[in-house]
Amino acid sequence: MKPPSRLRSAPARFRLDPAVRVWTDREKRRLLQALRAQAQTPGPLRPEQLKKYLPSRNEDEILAFVDLLKERVAREAVKARYRYRQCKEKDAPVPAPIEV
């Protein structure tokens, strides 16, 4: 019997969108320093100040990466909450059967 066909995606070298550079560990550490420095001042996130720490990246790339990190944090928080509820439900006492 023949296996079902599957959709195949084109390799990255054939993509038409502009090349997305991978964030290096050094850039991530510099971004963390910039975010910590901005945490001292109240108000919204200011990309022009983050740009001072990361001159090789433009503001759009920085904001896109920060949004990606926010999404990742939110996803992990939801997962942790779900695991906590599952564990709590598993340990919950079984209700007594109803006699008829």
pLDDT over 70 at 21, yes or no: yes
What is the average pLDDT score of the chain?
88
14-25 in b/e form (b: 16+ CB < 10 A) is: eeeeeeeeeeee
The reported pLDDT for the residue numbered 100 is 73
Per-residue tokens: 93: 């006492």
Please report, in angstroms and rounded to a whole number, the separation of the first and last CA atoms in the chain. 53
Tens digit of each residue's pLDDT (9 = 90 or more) over 65-98: 999 999 999 999 999 999 999 888 888 787 788 8
